Amino acid sequence: MSKISEIEAYILGREITSAQWASLMVLVKVTTSDGKVGWGETVSALRAEAVINFVKKINKVLKGSDVFNVEKNRLEWYKHDFNLTISLESTTALSAVDIASWDIIGKELGAPLYKLLGGKTRDKILVYANGWYQNCVTPEDFAEKAKEVIKKGYKALKFDPFGSNFTYITKRGLDLAEKRVRAVREAVGDDVDILIEHHGRFNVDSAIAIAKRLEKYNPLFMEEPVHPEDIEGLKKYRLNTGLKIALGERIINKNQALYFMKEGLVDYLQIDLYRIGGVTESKKVVSIAEAFDVLMAFHNAQGPILNAVTLHMDAYIPNFLIQESFYDWFPQWKKDLIYDGTPIENGYAIIPEKPGIGIDVNEKMIDELKVKGEEYFNPEEPVWVVKGTWKD
């Protein structure tokens, strides 16, 4: 039996790049009694230290457990934690341990993760670019950077054109957002999909005004148009607009996901393996989504291990729309950490084929990348924006 002998977690980072949250990652290492190692990764947005503490608690609960028993191990933590399904810190810590466990399981069985999940429904993964618009302020800035994205072969790109507008969008803010979107649409042409990111920061009347102004540019979807807890607003948005709604990156349990689908409030579900419980829980949500004809567009905005494991989910699921990718805009150390193991080719990601998650971690880099002290914080710009875009 492959018993879990040690679960470790480190905050890794170097310089602040495309955004603060993208400049850190929490790396989780699971080691078994027979020396097998699995890698997981989880959230860092202002919670890195808290998540590390939860991983230490999970280590206490799961040490000695069989790494293959992913359901039992989850239930064991659920039994002890009492708040697993309502605590982001707890669910992200467990998610990383779950991802690392599946990495070991694949290595033990000599199979890439997608083969354990359901094989290949697609041979490569259509991706959309994010992170490409760092420091873009004017419409010309956005157009110029968008052209570079298309030159790399991407067929879709996402961006947040709303600057520092929050809750209520001003007329000036709406005019400038439209100019930015129009500039991108003109730069990329009609055959490339543009996806609008709101970062869940508007009241519903602003979100509806935005939809009415931007629908002529035919966005593939409108992501998190209203504040994430504003269910009544989302219902009103659904009644007043015809655009597709994408959401889910903040969902931390399958019951929340079910609610949005049961109420018809989501077209494209963006759960993230690092928030909802890793591979084990994501598999369940994918099946619920399939039953509601909801397509998957996994959120994937952290680091290279999370990116790789998400590609295995994309490989097998029947209800796939498109995959988010920051890969080409990762700080170099994130690519070097996995020997640049999951490159994007002409707008598609290649599915890793080696056993487990299918990437190798450059362990020699870990010590040098360990962040000492407090996470970086910039009071001028929220942690979740692409750096240098909280401007009008």
Ligand X SMILES: O=C(O)[C@H](O)[C@@H](O)[C@H](O)[C@H](O)CO
| Catalytic machinery residues | 199, 299
Q: Closest separation between CB of residue 311 and ligand X, Å?
A: 16
Phi, psi of 294 (to 5 degrees): -95, 135
76-115 residues near ligand X, rule: CB under 6 A: none
CB 73 within 8 A of CB 64: no
Residue 384 is a binding residue for ligand X (CB under 6 A): yes
Residue 133 is a binding residue for ligand X (CB under 6 A): no
191-230 residues near ligand X, rule: CB under 6 A: 197, 199
Candidate residues 26, 28, 45, 211; the one interacting with ligand X per rule CB under 6 A: 45
3-class secondary structure, 29: strand
CB 106 within 8 A of CB 303: no
Q: Are strands 295-296 and 245-247 parallel, antiparallel or unpaired?
A: unpaired
Candidate residues 17, 23, 92, 130; the one interacting with ligand X per rule CB under 6 A: 130
Angle between helical axes of 88-109 and 70-81 (0-180°, round to 10)? 160
Instruction: Lay out the site mask for ligand X across 319-348 (x = CB under 6 A, - = otherwise).
Output: -----x------------------------
Instruction: Lay out the site mask for ligand X across 54-73 (x = CB under 6 A, - = otherwise).
Output: --------------------
What is the distance, to the nearest Å, from the Cα of residue 329 to the centroid of all Cα atoms in its chain?
14
CA distance 26 to 139: 35
- How many residues contact ligand X, by CB under 6 A? 10
> Of the two residues 67 and 266, which places its CB atom closer to ligand X in the complex?
266
Residues in CB range of 387: below 8 A, 6 or more apart: 16, 17, 18, 19, 20, 134, 135, 381
3-class secondary structure, 207: helix
> Of the two residues 298 and 333, which places its CB atom closer to ligand X in the complex?
298
E-only strand ranges, 130-191: 156-159
Q: Closest separation between CB of residue 95 and ligand X, Å?
A: 14
CA distance 219 to 369: 38
What is the distance, to the nearest Å, from the Cα of residue 146 to the centroid of all Cα atoms in its chain?
21
> Of the two residues 329 and 384, which places its CB atom closer to ligand X in the complex?
384
245-304 residues near ligand X, rule: CB under 6 A: 249, 299, 301
Angle between helical axes of 70-81 and 278-291 (0-180°, round to 10)? 100
Q: Closest separation between CB of residue 199 and ligand X, Å?
A: 5
> Of the two residues 106 and 219, which places its CB atom closer to ligand X in the complex?
219
Q: Closest separation between CB of residue 324 and ligand X, Å?
A: 6
> Of the two residues 70 and 306, which places its CB atom closer to ligand X in the complex?
306
> Of the two residues 59 and 237, which places its CB atom closer to ligand X in the complex?
237
Residue 21 is a binding residue for ligand X (CB under 6 A): yes
CA distance 282 to 263: 20
Binding site for ligand X (CB under 6 A): 21, 45, 130, 197, 199, 249, 299, 301, 324, 384
